[in-house]
Amino acid sequence: MIYIHIPYCKQRCIYCGFYSTAASSVNESYIDAVCNELKIRADYLRNKKIQTIYIGGGTPSLLTIKQLNKIQNTIDKLFDLSGLKEVTLEGNPEQLTEKHLTELKNTNFINRLSIGVQSFDNDILKLLNRRHNCTDAIDATKNAQKAGFDNITLDLIYGIPGLTNKLWLENLNIIAGLNIQHLSCYALTVEDGTMLKTLIEKGKIAPTDEDQTLQHYESLIEWCHKNNFVQYEISNFCREGYEAKHNSRYWNNTPYLGIGAAAHSYNGTSRQWNISDIKNYIQSINSGIVPSTIENLSVEDSFNEYLMTALRTRKGLETNFLTNRYPDLWKATEPKLTAYINKGLMVPNAKGYHLNHKGMLLADAIAAELFT
């Protein structure tokens, strides 16, 4: 699987801790560097067939069709795409116009769209410093469907100060009328270095309220249940059969090649992340060097990472995989799971164990308790 990072945004949202730079278009020299990095690192995945590609950001909908074609052609020449199943592009509603969506569909490359809606409430969108409004978000979704996209996911955020339970439910009910296949819902987190954190510290925005966030999560679970969205990961919900193939592979320990400034890669034994600086990234790639830091993973690191991600999924911990890959660590860990089963947080299943809805809320804490 390949991930391409496009770290450009028209303006910064107040809560965002990702690396990106404010710009109204994607620099051509960045696209050239991305294509060059693809060439330099073409054997990173040891010539495995590529099944999924994800173009994320930042704001990949800022890419022109010409730039997208350049990336597509480069990937096409370098990798075996005979098993390609899913190519996702992230986009912001205000850029997903009818014309742009038709052009995207005509590339015959992108077959899944991830639309960064975040909220359907105009006041909340303003507070978050998003550029779109509720109508833009609805129009982008409907126009994507008109253009022929039949695999669409929307991103939403809950637990936002000012987002009442009633407003949150109204957001979800708008989705009920949109006939989409997938939904990613995240609790607002206040990250260091963000404008949100500064505004809360200055008393200009109310702090997030844990109880309210929990109520939003619980009403989300109930709403998804009533509206036939299956929760397959703590923040991800889909119509049956529409799990995100790319993201599911991250949670499965599958190696991936991450291209671009700030992109991360994983080859099964080490993690690698590129420099979070567009200018330096381009300069370094132009001189043939990938500017990255590599961390070799110990068996314990790799085991802990698996626990961390697998516990957040509906599939949960797979006993066969764990017995084969980490025999000693798993032997020492499995008996500890009884305590979570007895507390009504974890359930044994055909292949191992998974957390129920209540347990999923504590997934990170439970993983940390099980870490070796």
Smallest distance, Å, CB 9 to ligand SF4? 3
State the Cα–Cα distance between residues 363 and 357, nearest whole angstrom. 10
140 vs 370 by CB, closer to ligand SF4: 140
CB of 140 to ligand SF4, least distance (A): 14
Name the residue nearer to ligand SF4 (CB basis): 15 or 79.
15
Among 312, 258, 248, 300, smallest CA distance to 281 is for: 258
- Of 13 and 172, which has the nearer Cβ to ligand SF4? 13
Closest CA to 369 of 337, 341, 346: 337
Kindly state the smallest distance separating residue 92's Cβ from ligand SF4, in Å: 6
Output 95 or 151, the one with its CB closest to ligand SF4.
95
CB of 311 to ligand SF4, least distance (A): 26
How near is the Cβ of 316 to ligand SF4 at its closest, in Å? 29
Instruction: Select 171 or 313, whichever has its Cβ closest to ligand SF4.
Output: 171
Helices then strands, each counted (H, E), the chain: 16, 17
Amino acid at 323: T
Q: Evaluate whether 101 touches 139 at the Cβ level (below 8 Å).
A: no
Nearest residue (CB) to ligand SF4, 205 versus 370: 205
Q: Which residue in this structure is represented by tokens 């509206």?
A: 227
Q: Is the dihedral of CA 152, 157, 163, 168 positive or negative?
A: positive
The residues, any chain, with a CB within 8 Å of residue 211's CB and separated by 6 or more, are none
Q: Output 16 or 138, the one with its CB closest to ligand SF4.
A: 16
CB of 14 to ligand SF4, least distance (A): 9
Cα separations in angstroms, 364 against 62, 78, 141, 361, 370: 34, 38, 32, 8, 10
Query: What Cα–Cα distance (Å) separates residue 102 from each residue in 57, 62, 149?
Result: 21, 15, 9
- The pair of structure tokens assigned to 234 is 């703590």
Strands in 12-111 per DSSP E: 21-22, 52-57, 86-91
Sheet containing 264-266: order of strands: 264-266, 270-274, 292-296
- Residues making contact with ligand SF4 (CB under 6 A): 9, 12-13, 16, 18, 20, 57-59, 92, 116
Residue 94, both tokens: 């205000």
Q: CA 328, CA 136: separation in Å to the nearest integer?
A: 53
Measured between alpha carbons, how far is 358 from 347 in angstroms, rounded to an integer?
11
Cβ of residue 313: shortest distance to ligand SF4, in angstroms?
24
Least Å distance, CB 156 to ligand SF4, is: 13
> With respect to ligand SF4, which residue has the nearer C-beta, 45 or 124?
124
